[in-house]
Structure 1
Amino acid sequence: MWFSKSQDEVLRELNVDLSVGLSSEEAKLRLEKYGQNKLKGKPKKSIFSLFLEQLQDMLIYVLLGATAITIAIGEYADAIIILLVVILNAVIGVVQEYKAEKAIEALQKMTTPKCLVRRDGEVKEITSEELVPGDIVIIDAGRYIPADLRLIDSANLQIEESALTGESVPVNKNANDIYEDPKTPIGDRSNMAFMSTLATYGRGEGVVVSTAMETEIGKIAKILDEDDDEMTPLQKRLDELGRTLGFLAIGVCALIFVIALFQKRDLFEMFLTAISLAVAAIPEGLAAIVAIVLALGVTRMSKINAIVKKLPAVETLGSVNIICSDKTGTLTQNKMTVVKYYTFNNLKDLPANETNFSANEDETQLIKSFVLCSDATYENGQSTGDPTEVALVVMGDRFKITKKELNGKHKRAGENPFDSDRKLMSTLNVEGSKYRVHTKGAIDNILNISTKALVDGKIVPLTEDMKAKYLEVAEEMSNNALRVLGVAFKDVDSIIEPEEMEKDLTVIGFVGMIDPPRIEVKDSIREAKQAGITPVMITGDHRNTAAAIAKELGIAESLDQCITGAEIDKLTDEEFSEKINNYRVFARVSPEHKVKIVRAFKAKGNIVSMTGDGVNDAPSLKYADIGVAMGITGTDVSKGASDMILTDDNFTTIVHAIEEGRNIYANIKKAVVFLLSCNLGEIISIFASILFYWPVPLLPTQILWMNLITDSLPAISLGVDPGDKDVMKKKPRDPKQSFFAEGAGTRAIIGGCLIGALTLLAFYFGLSEHGYSLGSKNIPEDVLTYARTMAFVVIAASQLFYSLSMRNFTKSIFKVGLFSNMYLIGAIIVGLLLQFVVITVPFLASAFSVHNLSIRDWTIVIAFSLIPLIVNEIIKALTRPA
């Protein structure tokens, strides 16, 4: 634990002289021992191996089996279609997987190419890959830290660590600090500097203590490298479904063939029938339908600023019931902003949505002193410098007291730079023919060096009662998570030394600033909670600041719902998992804590989404069921590790994406239940006829044709059904819930039984018109052809009409809107026309062994075909909640 050791101990342990650094020979030896200072990733998979991985799925095996069977029975067109479905699905998977493997590469790009080191007694610039433990690194403002360093020297050093720790402002560093607690959080290790963070102010020197994968950012890379992607709920459902259908199809085939063997039927004909039924029983279009539905959903989501990298992530987002969100930049604006200011007995708010401000004499002096005592700039919406100072300059800009104008009138003649011990900064500026000192810093320090106060434009003695009043208001601001900064001034006749500036000052007042919440987030959080989704804040920021933001946004109700990383460390994994539901805010946490939090929520059976933008968010983005990265402020690492990127960095987009995800899953469920209802109807009609030794109502070619027209366009049309407007009024779906929960399975069985029974009934009517029954022997071929034609039309038309009822499992087709899905209406019309063409065009009728029907029989088959639709609508009406 380098942060728990003194500078001398560290240098002695690493065997290096601070004034000389490592020798070139020693550096070369250490480079051979420790290796290059760059992050390592997994060996890249070839495109071919990625392609083969996509084929390792039970449903794909079944489809490939169906392909072999269709080739065996000479149905080459079907075989080609199935193969195209398999290849298309695999190609889409390869593309998505290839994009997703960019996380480690992005981490590698973040390492700094050049750095300053002391070697052989000289300061040299080398590539960061050549750094080794023991190297002395020179740090100055604007330079990235090339490895993990134990600071040896620091002067006003500030380092921007938000990408690693979540801190919204640069951290003050002090090389002399020592921390004995081995569990000191990364954000509190002020004597350390970490790889890929940015020095923003001051200077320093540090000795390299860790390189490459041993650095804090390297540990993150290891976590990303070790992680194995879990299957999404949709993939699990489809995998289970594929296995079930595969075994069912094999079982039905075998049973039919065995029964036919005992009945001494024509074995070749029964073999073809069994194989055709097996192909029909497996919805080979399902993989393509799911891919198409997800792809169209991705396109729609891109229009609302959500880019999905992995197709199944769309569905996963729809089942999310926990959103773990990073605070800085995601829930907040990631810029410090002055929201209150105080001069004696005069506390005022500074509303974000107002621009025209006026200031009295005291307020004007307060703003002038703050702006002049700052090194930041702000012009035309562009800023440079420390975020705290930028906030002060922006405040002046809003009062039309600009930095540029003040600098022109009041040239800086001297300064006493900020020091973390003094917690003060002073400047000496020209004021007419004299000079004026402006000092800003912690309000208690300002009061300690002040003897007077500016009150109503007059300078009066500063009494103890006045000091108490200043501190009382400042404490109230601090309790509301505001960062308080005081300011004072004094006039002098000539240029004075820096140490003389901070004596006998006149206190003016102070400001309270915060990284404010995004304006639109509060409504989004309320909408999410109404949809049964629990928003959770995870941040590296301090407890009070995080809790205040969480309460303002409606995420938490009290400080009791907040826990820090240090408190998490005191709990075992089991204890933490048991208590996880009590917390809504996790403050001062490390990357490891974030992963632990996500895992604890997942252990409770939740589907967890994690949003974030920093390097520190990458492991939790990877471990969450779905990781959501910020597109504007997000690092390449977070984008690479995520499943979805928000191009507008807007929390509201997540809620819209959840709604889209829920509707997409509902549409896939409609398509699956519809396909299985249809396939069950086919199995029932064939199996019953064989079991009872009746003539078979459908020939193999008829089964395959009918399977083609009902398994394609209608199912895809259901997959793109307009979303249910009430979907966000429901609780999130139980992740363990199957496709057939909430009565969907019963609906599929009822629909399948009706379709199968009506097919047999139509077959019976066709036979009875010619004086035969189902049990008759030696039925003429032309009579069988006529009866099979009626069965053929009923089983196809009933499935097409039944698709209308599948659009919503509870609302009637009239409530949903009969014509609100014109794709489905078109699919039904096309299906009926194709069926009519097959029956009426002579050469097609001959190929499919069908016969043209009379007007009376057309009326009967259409009436039969409407019954499943009507029955399902009646069931909806009877079971619908009042």
Structure 2
Amino acid sequence: MTPPVRAPAHALAPTSPPPATPAVSARIADPSILDVEAVASALGADPKRGLSAAQAAQRLSVDGPNALRRAPPVPAWRRLLAQFQDPLVYLLLVAVLISLGAWWLEGMDGWPLDAVVIGAILLANGLLGYLQEARAQDAVAALARMTAVTSSVVRDGQLLRVPSEELVRGDLLVLAEGDAVGADARLFDAAALRVNEASLTGESEAVLKSIETLPAPASIGDRLDMVFKGTAIAQGSGRALVTATGMDSEMGAIAGMLEATVEERTPLQKEVQRIGRMLGIAVIAIAAVVVGSIVLMTELRTPAEWVQVLLLGVSLAVAAVPEGLPAILSVVLAIGVQRMAARKAIVKKLSSVETLGSASVIASDKTGTLTRSEMTIERIATASGESHVNGIGYAPLGSVEHKGEELRGPLRAEQVAVLSGGCVAGNAQLRQEADGRWEIQGDPTEAAFLVAERKLGVEEHRQARFERIREIPFSSERKMMSAIALDREHGGAPVLIAKGAPDVLLGRCTRARVGDEILALDAPMRARILADVERMTDDALRTLSVAYRPLEPGEEIDGQADLEQDLVFVGTVGMIDPPRTEAAPAIAEAHKAGIRVIMITGDHPGTAVRIATDLGIVEAGAAVLTGSQIAALDDAAFAEAVRRTSVYARVAPEHKLRIVGALQADGNVVAMTGDGVNDAPALKAADIGVAMGITGTEVSKEAARMILADDNFATIVHAVREGRSILDNIRKFLRYLLSSNMGEVLTVFLGVVLAGVIGLAGPGGAIAAPLLATQILWVNLITDSGPALAMGVDPAVDDVMARKPRRIDERVIDARMWFGVLEVGAVMAVVTLLTIDLYLPGGLLEGTESLDNARTAGFTVLVLAQLFNCLNARSENASGFRDPFANGWLWAAIALSAVLQVAVVNLGFLNAAFGTVPLSLEQWGVCVAMASVVLWATELRKLIARALDRRGARAGPAAAPGAGG
């Protein structure tokens, strides 16, 4: 490991009074195109002694901390209040106010039962949603494990370690291998300095930095004389002057883009809002018709009579609005969130769960998401042939084979020389942590040699044989580096070992190693080596070659003589950042589910296509779109390109935003994954942003709606499966709730309109309500909550990943479901009113019982019909008798509701509260038989629908299935 850089003595010793520097410096638009002297002058900085403590404190007070701006935390009371900002909640609050008004007009006798129960349900729903979102936030905070990052600076001529948040413009930043770069800075000293900028640019390879001033403005990835906040030093050392901190840094610019990105409401939120508006209009219309009819048909003389009319209006409001819907929706989503958390997917907002189930596109970053972010040597080519290196990542598990067999003879000797030579000419370290994981320190490319050498089993031999005594660092001009080592097998004689770009290294070679022999490097051998390199390059492998030269006794190795000549060529390695093993099966499952997977990366186009092909995202030879090509396309051409392109390379943050926007404009629900700062704006703009929990930056985690605690792409697909199951279950309980409430609405509405026909009209035209408001509320309380909640955890009827995603324009409640809701509601109303008519004197069926008895029988039929409806609602088309006992919770809810109904009919104190009277055994039998008509009518309709579907399937190709359940 390279030791931490320390300031040289001459930089620390005050040789003369420091120049006067201003306390506050000027901001520089683009320091990469200014020479170091101009940057230092503009910053009021001293490249030798750094700032004084007083100057740093003054600048920190003016500019503020070197931190990204964050939205102020939302107070707990506002987060709780937000749970009640929903159209359905508003509707229920209106019902509470009407109920309280009616109670007040009645003289405030007793408790306002309707208002109390509805209010309790609303409060429970709000608390549940608040607690679940608070738990998700706590999980995200625990995942982040924020630690204080520090930086090395020179102040007052002394090398200090300070919190990175205290860096200011003009600070002299000292960079060493393994450091995190604390702020944007202009380099003025660099020794083999390589910086990992994947979090900012998406580029997987470490970037070699230089102090040379750029001739013209360049993109972030090409500003070689700059280092940026949020990146990491992979190799070497350097010094730089801080030019921008906090929101003025490049990372801050991307964070600023987040503030301008609008976060869209989820499809489920939009649908529930639409249902709320629709139900509100329906309630007003139906209540107006019913109340208006009563006012016109009945002469109201006393306040008590007006109260009765208002109570009927309340009962209609209660009947129309599924007051349990918000609470049940929150509970079902919360259960889904807990299931996902067990699968390492942390969902920050409950409503985002359903969005995953609707995802039609997963737009994924490559580095660290689809790949392991661990450079791995895949092939080694030498004079005697080519070998394949098995195993991926930094764990040295695998082998080096030639055509499936163990290496032998000259080929093994050559390939040992390549790997051992690459290790000697490198500074990385490979070590195994206490938990068994393998970690590297230094450049990932150099670490790849160490891993491959361990797979060949010769690392101990190399360590015993060579002792490094000098390094000739890598430079952008030479495109190579060398190390001089003592070779103990040859009496401690010095040997120079070099690695670098194949074309550059080959130009310095005059000989080649073949087995244990050294032969002249003739034209045919050169052509063969270049062909090996070209073949690897065509396969999107990054290539590095190794060569060496034994130094002559007495040859000067510390002088300026060029030692890197007359080298012996050994061989070439091809390496790649390998795909995650679990990514390909996950992508295959996504394709099976009709989800398109696209790759968006800042990496090289060839590498991007190779990884995408290996993972099954695209076919071999597929087109790739680069950032420069995206910038050149107008909106129409770009929209067309997005429809047929699944691999994007060399893209900037604004390109990612444009891609996501084009996909959404084309009608897709987009899940965007990523881990870097450069991914954050697109994560926020996407319908569901998914950040990596381990390798992800804090900016990306804050922008996302979901965080993968294991950084596993397959977890996204598991989450999609869970989301689809949840969406199916939401459709089930919506079908159940709406059809049941429709039955209640139609019962009251038709009971009033047809009062004279069924015997509910008394002397003088006075109309008796078919059901009391408290009875309707009881129906909702015992039949809506328990059964609907049990449907929220119903097992999937079929394979939810075997159908296409739900279209963005497809309603959660489509026309087919509405037809079923109206049909079931109408049947419920008819059987309920027929039962009332059966027992009432007059009407279509002559009865002899009292109004209370007839109303109790109708009330009971409505309850039992809704319990039979539980079996109907489990599927749009499948029979209710298909696997009927798969959901034990549903049967428990049905049994509990039935027992409660028996209690409200037969217990005296409940009779008084709900206006019921006991029923005889014969009457109970009639009620059960009448209620079961709902089940048989729906079974008949489903039977006809299945027959029509089979006939349509035989007549032509089946339409793409929509959302199930």
Q: TM-score, normalised by structure 2?
A: 0.85
Structure 1 position 22, deviation (Å): 5.4
Tell me how far apart the structure 2 counterparts of residues 853 and 430 of structure 1 sit (CA, whole Å). Answer: 103
> Which deviates the most, 145-154 or 63-72?
63-72
Q: State the AA in 2 paired with 1:629.
A: A
**2:403 matched residue in structure 1:** none
Aligned to 2:24: none
Q: Once the two structures are superposed, what CA deviation does each residue of 1:280-321 show, in whole Å capped at 9, x if it has no partner?
A: 211110011001101111122222222222111111110011
Deviations 1:797-816 (A, max 9, x none): 1111011111011222233x
SS of residue matched to 1:556: coil
Residues 275, 698 of structure 1: CA spacing in aligned structure 2 closer, same or farther, 3 A cutoff?
same
Match of 2:827 in 1: 754
Residue 40 in 1 paired to residue 56 in 2?
Answer: no
Question: Quick check: 333-342 or 158-167, which moved more?
Answer: 158-167
Residue in 2 that maps onto 1:831 = 897
Q: Does 1:812 align with 2:882?
A: no
Query: Is the CA contact 1:412–1:429 (under 8 Å) kept in the aligned structure 2?
Result: yes
Residue 25 of structure 2: aligned partner: none
Q: Does 1:151 align with 2:210?
A: no
1:759 and 1:791 in contact (8 A); partners too: yes
Give the match for residue 774 of structure 2. Answer: 701
* Higher alpha-carbon deviation: 805-814 or 493-502: 493-502
Give how far 1:757 is off: 1.0
How far does the alpha carbon of each residue in 1:360-418 deviate from its partner, in whole angstroms, 9 at most, with x for none?
2222222222222222222433432211111101101011112x542233222333232
Aligned runs of 1:378-777 on 2, under 5 Å? 378-380=430-432, 381-402=438-459, 404-427=460-483, 428-432=485-489, 433=491, 434-494=493-553, 496=555, 497=557, 499-557=561-619, 561-573=623-635, 575-694=637-756, 695=760, 696-741=769-814, 743-767=816-840, 772-773=842-843
Provide, for residues 596-650 of structure 1, a one-character-per-residue CA deviation record: whole Å limited to 9, x for no partner.
2222222222111111122222222222111112223223332232222222221
Go from structure 1 to structure 2 and tell me whether the alpha carbon gap of 1:27 and 1:309 turns closer, same or farther (over 3 Å shift). closer
Check 1:518–1:91 CA distance in 2 against 1; reply closer, same or farther (3 A cut).
same
Secondary structure of residue in 2 paired with 1:89: helix
| Residues 220 and 618 in structure 1, CA contact (< 8 A), matched pair in contact too | yes
Distance 1:187 1:745 in 2: 54
1:307–1:646 CA contact under 8 A, matched in 2: yes
Distance 2:147 2:681 in 1: 16
Q: Does 1:348 align with 2:387?
A: yes
More deviation in 153-162 or 290-299?
A: 153-162
State the one-letter code of the partner of 1:797.
Answer: L
Equivalent in 39, 50, 59 of residue 79 of structure 2: 50
Quick one: distance in 2 between partners of 1:306 and 1:20?
Answer: 49
CA contact (8 A) 1:3 1:150 kept: yes
SS at match of 2:359: coil
- 1:864 CA displacement: 1.7
Instruction: Report which stretch shifted further, 338-347 or 495-504.
Output: 495-504
Shift, 1:102, TM fit: 11
* Counterpart contact for 1:151–1:192, Cα < 8 Å: yes
Q: Runs of 5+ in structure 1 lacking a partner?
A: none
Does the Cα contact within 8 Å between 1:374 and 1:393 map onto a contact in 2?
Answer: no
Q: Separation in 1 of the partners of 2:633 and 2:139?
A: 34
- Partner of 1:814, secondary structure, is coil
SS in 2 for 1:146: coil
Q: Identify the residue that residue 259 of structure 1 maps to in structure 2.
A: 293
The count of residues paired between Structure 1 and Structure 2 equals: 871
Residue 763 of structure 2: aligned partner = none
Aligned to 2:309: 270
* Aligned-partner SS, 2:211: coil
1:656–1:725: structure 2 CA closer, same or farther, 3 Å change rule?
A: farther
CA displacement at 1:844 relative to structure 2: 3.1
Please tell me whether the aligned partners of residues 362 and 456 of structure 1 are also in contact (alpha carbons under 8 angstroms).
yes
Name the CA distance, whole Å, in 2 between partners of 1:205 and 1:356.
Answer: 41
The residue type equivalent to 1:702 in the other structure is Q
User: Does residue 311 in structure 1 map to residue 350 in structure 2?
Assistant: yes
Shift, 1:110, TM fit = 7.7
CA distance 1:818–1:125, change in 2 (3 Å): closer
Q: CA, structure 1 residues 106+332, in 2 after alignment: closer, same or farther (shift >3 Å)? A: closer
Between the aligned partners of 2:922 and 2:523, the Cα distance in structure 1 is 105
Query: 2:60, 2:331 → 1: CA distance?
Result: 52
Check 1:568–1:12 CA distance in 2 against 1; reply closer, same or farther (3 A cut): farther
CA distance in 1, matches of 2:893, 2:518: 85
The question of whether the paired residues in 1 share the 8 Å contact of 2:543 and 2:574 is answered with yes
Indicate the residue corresponding to 1:841 in structure 2: 907
1:870 matched to 2:936: yes
1:414 and 1:429 in contact (8 A); partners too: no
User: Which amino acid is 1:759 matched to?
Assistant: T
Cα drift, residue 761 of structure 1: 1.2
Matched, 1:190 2:224: yes
Letter in 2 for 1:211: T
- The TM-score, its normalising length taken from structure 1, stands at 0.93
Residue 28 (structure 1) shift? 6.2
Which consecutive residues of structure 2, in runs of 5 or more, have no partner in the other structure? 1-29, 104-109, 300-304, 401-405, 433-437, 761-768, 951-965
Match of 2:152?
A: 115
Is the Cα contact below 8 Å between 1:54 and 1:90 reproduced in 2? yes
Give the Cα–Cα distance (whole angstroms) in 2 for the partners of residues 727 and 547 of structure 1: 30
Kept in 1, the 8 Å contact 2:143–2:693? The answer is: no
User: Which residue of 346, 361, 365 corresponds with 1:326?
Assistant: 365
Instruction: Mark the CA change 1:105 to 1:762 in structure 2 (over 3 Å): closer, same or farther.
Output: closer
Partner Cα separation in structure 2 for residue 633 and residue 343 of structure 1: 36
> What do residues 740-765 of structure 1 show as CA deviations (whole Å, max 9, x unaligned)?
21510110011111111111111122
CA-based RMSD of the aligned residues comes to: 2.8
Is the Cα–Cα contact under 8 Å of residues 185 and 565 in structure 1 kept in the other structure? no
Q: 1:102 to 1:671 in 2, by over 3 A?
A: closer
Moved more, 644-653 or 404-413: 404-413
Give SS of 2:540's match: coil
Q: Is the 8 A contact 1:107 1:221 kept in 2?
A: no
Q: Which residue is 1:90 aligned to?
A: 126
Q: Percent sequence identity over matched residues? A: 39
